Structure 1
Amino acid sequence: MYKPYRIFATDMDGTLLNYRKEISEVNLKAMRDLHKEGIEVVVCTGRSFATVKQYLEQLDFPCWLISNNGSVIRNKSREIVSTTYMKQTVLQKVIRILEKEDVYFHASDEEYYYIKSIYERIKMVRNYVSRVEKSKIKAFWRPIYEVLFSNTHKKVNFNSFIHNGGKITSIFVVSRNSEKINSIKAKLANIEGIDVSSSGKDNIEILDKGATKAHGLAKLLSKLNISSDEIVTVGDNFNDLTMIKYAGLGVAMGNSEAEIKEHADWVTKTNEEDGVAHLIYEKVIKLKEVAME
């Protein structure tokens, strides 16, 4: 007899969000229908809390949040219930490599982005905003506001920050130079105690070995007394691979890399085709209704 799924965990960028970084009305309705069916929803993302809050407001129902690629877990009241930091000795080795490579990176904890340069961070945010913001005026001013006035960023000297006991959950590296990305990945491979992944060809995501999305979900399931075969996960990139392989039903987006699809139990439509909604209605709600007949 079919056993209904009890948890639905979704990635954000490239999955729940379209390329304009929006939750479509179709996906929004599907997520709300899922909640009405009594299925727990988990937003599972590499983003930090600061850039997720607006989307949680849109969903308009209480859900769990696993952010920073699995490092930080918040309950449905948005209270932190678990944080996994990178170990200080390991963090020092990683920062040493990144500083020598002269590459853009920022680090995160439960609340803040830590940056080396205000100018470089504004430039990076503007590059992202310009792809999704139609208004040129907003595309210019929004990055300045987010970095300087939103109380989400702190400029630090990373060596001093770590030496003085600063804690980090994850590090995000960006470069359009594929050779540089591959070179950094090769050097990071020699460091024990970290997980190295990516959410795109131009970035590297670094966190503690015990802080992947699968680890975050495992901690949450333990609290809720739910087994892994009772959850559905969906994602599009390599930082989603652990949770796709972990779930009872691990789903890849239609826009996923081929390797992600190979490890998935099922492939839904793309994020531009409301693939999350398609998954919810075809493999979660529909099957639950069949089981109840």
Structure 2
Amino acid sequence: MKLIASDMDGTLLNKYWRISDENRAAVLEAQAAGIHFVIATGRPYTNVNVIIEEAGISCPVISLNGAQTHDASGKLIASQPLSKQQVRAVHDILLEEGMYFELMTEQGAISLSHDRYVEIAQYYGAMELSHLPEVERHETVLRMCEERIRNERCQFVDSFERYLNDDQLDILKIFALTTDEECFNRCDERVRQLTGLAVSSSAHGNLEVNAQNGNKGYAVQQYAASLGLEPSDIMAMGDGFNDLSMLKMAGRGIVMDNAPDSLKALIANRTKRNTEHGVAYAIRQLLEEKGLSAASEIASSVER
């Protein structure tokens, strides 16, 4: 394995949506040992960059499920936007069904309702942060919502029409959420009937729509090819169905133990939960297999 690709939420990030010291150290060890590391996430680049800079990690970022790829210096090197016709078709379905959704653009996320976004976030926060007291959980979710709004440059508008009719603005992904399972199922079924799209879900009640080649598998494979690497050279880790394309493409796809059972049934290799530093565990297994370690690499470079 010469390249490691990792998802973020539920994978590289802990329950507080940060990179743990253990995961950070393991990533740096892999890079010191000469193994390429790339993040592949549904998040937009601006949000990812804040988190990896905080952790002291420098690496390429595949964002918005594969819609964009930036190199380690921040230069955009690949893009897979949706066509305006595709956006209009999905927009009409989601609006008709009443599902909350955002248009993800280079200018930031475009939404129709701040309050509805926070309401849905609180609903899922009650499950994901159930270990916290109610008041602390509520405040934590509010803080995370405001952090996301700031980092992703979210804009709240009365209508999407201006953006649907702007031929100069690329819409890279449509991100949708609902707490209503029946609404989700209807939207999922209807959107999947459209052609030329990559439709996935990274969490319960979440629907993500990209252009056909705007998926993690295609983006990671293309990035690897730019380095002269084959899929057999790639180790990929993830926990959601928006990770499935890269987990199946990679020579070693590894699913997190916190992933849904339906995803774990499709991928043979397993690592620990994201809250147990599963990324670090998998990386160190790889380094041991290759007989590499940060310490030995640094020592050999000093000797040379």
Aligned residue among 282, 289, 293 for 2:291:
289
- Tell me the secondary structure at the aligned position of residue 25 of structure 2: helix
- Superposed CA offset, 1:143-194 (max 9, x none): 45754x6671223422331123232111111111111100101111221011
Name the residue aligned to 1:74: 70
How many aligned residue pairs are there?
285
Cα distance, 1:268–1:76 mapped onto 2, change above 3 Å: same
Q: Contact between 1:244 and 1:263, CA under 8 Å: does it hold in 2?
A: no
**What is the RMSD of the two structures over their aligned residues, measured on CA atoms?**
2.4
Amino acid at match of 1:184: C
Aligned residue among 185, 208, 214 for 2:217:
214
Cα distance, 1:61–1:266 mapped onto 2, change above 3 Å: same
> How far apart are residue 265 of structure 1 and its match?
3.8
- Superposed CA offset, 1:189-210 (max 9, x none): 2210111110112111111111
- Tell me the secondary structure at the aligned position of residue 263 of structure 1: coil
Name the residue aligned to 2:48: 52
Name the residue aligned to 2:191: 188
The 1-side partners of 2:200 and 2:193 are apart by: 14
The 2-side partners of 1:8 and 1:136 are apart by: 35
> How far apart are residue 128 of structure 1 and its match?
6.7
> How far apart are residue 262 of structure 1 and its match?
2.7
Amino acid at match of 1:154: Q
1:87-236 matches, cutoff 5 A: 87-124=83-120, 134=136, 140=142, 143-144=145-146, 147=149, 152-156=153-157, 157-165=159-167, 166-236=169-239
The 1-side partners of 2:147 and 2:108 are apart by: 15
With structure 1 as the length reference, what TM-score do the two structures score?
0.89
Q: Contact between 1:122 and 1:144, CA under 8 Å: does it hold in 2?
A: no
The 2-side partners of 1:11 and 1:146 are apart by: 17
The 2-side partners of 1:123 and 1:211 are apart by: 29
The 1-side partners of 2:142 and 2:203 are apart by: 24
Cα distance, 1:263–1:138 mapped onto 2, change above 3 Å: closer
The 2-side partners of 1:46 and 1:142 are apart by: 17
The 2-side partners of 1:141 and 1:281 are apart by: 33
> How far apart are residue 240 of structure 1 and its match?
0.4
> How far apart are residue 123 of structure 1 and its match?
4.2
With structure 2 as the length reference, what TM-score do the two structures score?
0.86
Amino acid at match of 1:93: A
The 1-side partners of 2:251 and 2:42 are apart by: 22
Name the residue aligned to 2:31: 35
> How far apart are residue 76 of structure 1 and its match?
0.7
Gaps of 5+ in 2: 297-304
Name the residue aligned to 1:254: 257
